[in-house]
Structure 1
């Protein structure tokens, strides 16, 4: 970031939304240096003003948000926060934008926009500031992002304990989670639970993407769901996922509407703590990129229960918040680049063959 006060370009085809977003960001300590009504104007504004962050609408006339993201990342790489409709269709296009290089997204409320958006002002400002701090000039945190359907699977020699693997992720995380889950061999027999900070309209689509990108059978969790070896669950947006029971090679979960933790629901701490209390077999906790402290206490609980904890390193994290906090708590066994996490999981669960 070029200074203490982040500089932003706001892109939206609605004059009302451009004005409201600009006012919110200005009030929150973000300097809006330009606005744009479509993707072509957005690219020009980025080239002219060299901002620290762009808030990008998806649906715009002429040049839309997806094309604008692609052009900005090719011509003048800049951290981009997508503003997405809270719909399934909006989720699909948003994931495409993340693939093209956008860092994160923020969902626009429906209905009475001005009232609902005002209530989300603090969240928006916090996210814009976090995204503004991301270094997209290098390729570390976006390295080897797979084209859909081409994710390679890690195959390491050896036999593995059928561990329960808990993955916590937030800002910058979806593409990293896809690479991690997509690289794990099904024959390792893991039971995987993913807690990605994401709204309810997005988690089902995210589960579908993980299912398509991996050898595992992945679905959005439902209350009372059970998974066995070779299966994975994604915590649904707006609900906590609790590991409620474990026996044999299966894990049972329940969903709750308990208050948010760290301002988020689902919270990885809830899932990790419950797994540490419930699962008798081997446990692996993974804390990936994201702002805030969620996952740190849960990682410590996993470690205290005898499990193994991996944190993503700073250079490959879009936002080194959650992993850093877990490391500071002394809860982490390995600090690895995002693309090395799958091998880290395999190494932690490889069975030793005694002569």
Structure 2
């Protein structure tokens, strides 16, 4: 049975979260009122996973994550209030080693948490499977990777002049649990010379995707923003699907694509859904396409990969060893339509190789 420590400075929220997890078959071995108690509980009980509140007295969630990763690496799911400030803090927690975050509902908390209980239990179970050992924690940060490549000799993948690439390539990236840092890492190493139009779908709630896009933009040579309905992008630009809305390609002409955002029902129990973006792109884009599935729980993206392959696009999936959760990549690979399975560090080169002039898909 999966075991968990629940950390929250509200006794009421401790009880609500603990009850939801226990009802879902997850054993809550300890509760903590602050980060200090959370760290102590992890050391004493060695749980499979920790749910961690962001703002707590004595030691906040970020400091607690840092302490846990240094003393006894354990998967952590941040529970964050739905505010701009907490969005920033949640991403800082990911930088310290947290696997993912789940937004606490507003309003009548007990009723809302009950409504979301299945989603919370599923995410806690998925995060519990994440590898946060030494190898995982030592992966390069997107910003440090970019700084390093700017001060050292370029790799063969990034050294090619623009003439070596096919014209008007589109890159579609899908990810979920454990994905934000992986997406940042890939985008930080993507050469601007390749001139991609990039569509990113990360399972993430509304209010967080704008900050996520800003972070990618800070670490990438590409111009990255959160998608808005009707947005057009061309070469060297990227957009991130807005939380809570599907992003579909609505028009493509001479290297420029337009997207529309919809609130259609969730697909694969998620919105935005990777399948929606990839499948719509495959229908309308007649220039080279590359689809990439990164770490995440569930099966979203598998149908999208099939759609891209059906129109002779290139497809890549992250390997199990470097995936926090090997759900989405595994399902994509099982379709038989994934060209390459690569560790996260090799995916940027893998992407570039698909659009080298004369590349065979």
TM class by smaller structure: over 0.9
Cα 1:351–1:141 change in 2 (3 A) is farther
Q: How large is the Cα RMSD of the aligned pairs?
A: 1.4
2:147 to 141, 150, 153: 150
CA distance in 2, matches of 1:78, 1:241: 34
**Alignment pair present for 1:297 and 2:303:** yes
> How many residue pairs end up in the alignment?
349
**Alignment pair present for 1:33 and 2:29:** yes
1:169 to 175, 188, 196: 175
Aligned position for 2:190: 184
CA distance in 1, matches of 2:165, 2:185: 20
CA distance in 2, matches of 1:147, 1:295: 27
Structure 2: gaps (5+ residues):
151-156
- SS for the counterpart of 1:218 is strand
**Alignment pair present for 1:130 and 2:126:** yes
Contact 1:156 1:346 in 2 (8 A): no
- SS for the counterpart of 1:110 is coil
Cα 1:141–1:188 change in 2 (3 A) is farther
1:27-176 aligned within 5 A:
27-140=23-136, 143-147=139-143, 150=147, 152=149, 155-157=158-160, 159-161=164-166, 162-176=168-182
CA distance in 1, matches of 2:17, 2:67: 23
Cα deviation for residue 151 of structure 1 reads 6.7
Structure 1: gaps (5+ residues):
none
Aligned position for 2:278: 272
Contact 2:142 2:188 in 1 (8 A): no
1:231 to 229, 237, 244: 237
Q: TM-score, normalised by structure 2?
A: 0.94
Post-superposition Cα deviations, 1:12-67, rounded to whole Å, max 9, x if no partner, equal: 00000001111110110000000100011011100100100000000001100000
Aligned position for 2:320: 314
Cα 1:323–1:119 change in 2 (3 A) is same
CA distance in 1, matches of 2:98, 2:148: 19
- SS for the counterpart of 1:168 is strand
Q: Which segment drifts farther, 133-142 or 71-80?
A: 133-142
Post-superposition Cα deviations, 1:240-272, rounded to whole Å, max 9, x if no partner, equal: 111111111211111111110011000000000
Q: TM-score, normalised by structure 1?
A: 0.96
Cα deviation for residue 152 of structure 1 reads 3.8
CA distance in 1, matches of 2:149, 2:245: 31
Contact 1:140 1:315 in 2 (8 A): no
Cα deviation for residue 112 of structure 1 reads 1.0
Name segments (4+ residues, structure 1) moved above 2 Å.
145-154
Post-superposition Cα deviations, 1:253-306, rounded to whole Å, max 9, x if no partner, equal: 111111100110000000000000100000000000000000000001000111
- SS for the counterpart of 1:270 is helix
CA distance in 2, matches of 1:74, 1:257: 41
- SS for the counterpart of 2:207 is helix
Cα 1:305–1:141 change in 2 (3 A) is farther
Contact 1:172 1:318 in 2 (8 A): yes
